[in-house]
Amino acid sequence: MKPAKLQAVLEDLSVLERTERIEYLIALGEEYRNFSPEEVPRDATCRVPGCESEVYLGVSPLGEGLRLKFAVDNPQGISAMALATILDNSLSGEPLSQVSEISEDLIYDIFGRDLSMGKSMGLSGMVRMARDSARYGKPLAS
């Protein structure tokens, strides 16, 4: 079962046309605020594998689960910022049992199928790292 907030986001996106979806995602990306190195260390443990936008994940306890803090250091990484916002808003504090079952395929529900291989790798890497961090309670690169 997907976390309820994530399910709601995916349902919102499912009714949008491509242009509307892109504008929605850009708005989320522009809402994103980066984390400092004190909040999210820029080290190999926290780095999301396969993500060219240089994305790092830091976690801390929150609610029934974890706060997922994605640091995106590429100012042009608007897709990574949008996904970071979605994952933080919809998964932080949610039950670990639910977050640990999410599939990286949700990036296609969010961004559509027109993703290049490289872009797909990076974004799915963010989802996978969030999922695996929920499984093990700490940032864990797959």
Partner 1 sequence: MSATLTQILEKGYARPEALVTTEWLAERLDDPSIRIVESNEDPLLYVQGHIRNAVEIDWVRDLNDPLRRDYLDAAGFQALLRRIGATSETIFVFYGDKNNWWATYAAWVFHLFGHTNVRIVDGGRLKWVKEGRELTKEVPTFAPTDYVAQPRNDERFRAYRDDVLRHLNAGNKLIDVRSPEEFNGTRLHMENYPNEGALRGGHIPGAKSVPWAKAVNPEDGTFLSADSLKALYEETAGLESTDDVVVYCRIGERSSHTWFVLRYLLGYENVRNYDGSWTEWGNSVGLPIEK
Q: Determine the interface stretch with partner 1 among 62-70, 73-81, 92-100, 129-137 (rule: CB under 8 A).
A: 73-81
Grouping H, G, I as helix, E, B as strand and the rest as coil, residue 39 is coil
Residue from 23, 39, 43, 64 touching partner 1 (CB under 8 A): that is 23
* Residue number, 38 or 75, with CB nearest to partner 1: 75
User: Of the candidates 48, 72, 82, 110, which one interacts with partner 1 according to CB under 8 A?
Assistant: 82
Across 11-129, the runs of DSSP E, i.e. the strands, are 55-62, 65-72
* Least distance to partner 1, CB of residue 51, Å: 12
How far apart are CB 68 and partner 1 at their closest, in Å?
A: 20
Is residue 111 at the binding interface for partner 1, with CB under 8 A as the rule?
yes
Write down the least CB distance from residue 73 to partner 1, Å. 14
CB of 39 to partner 1, least distance (A): 25
**Angle between the 78-91 and 18-31 helix axes, to the nearest 10 degrees?**
80
41 CB burial (10 A radius; 0-12, 13-18, 19+): middle
Is the Cα dihedral 30, 88, 50, 54 positive or negative? positive
Q: How far apart are CA 92 and CA 138, in angstroms?
A: 13
- 116 lies in the binding site for partner 1 (CB under 8 A): yes
Hunting for tokens 């999410």 — which residue is that?
102
Alpha-carbon span 89 to 21, nearest angstrom: 17
Which residues in this chain contact partner 1 in the complex, by CB under 8 A?
19, 22-23, 25-26, 29-30, 50, 75-76, 78-79, 82, 104, 111-112, 114-121, 124
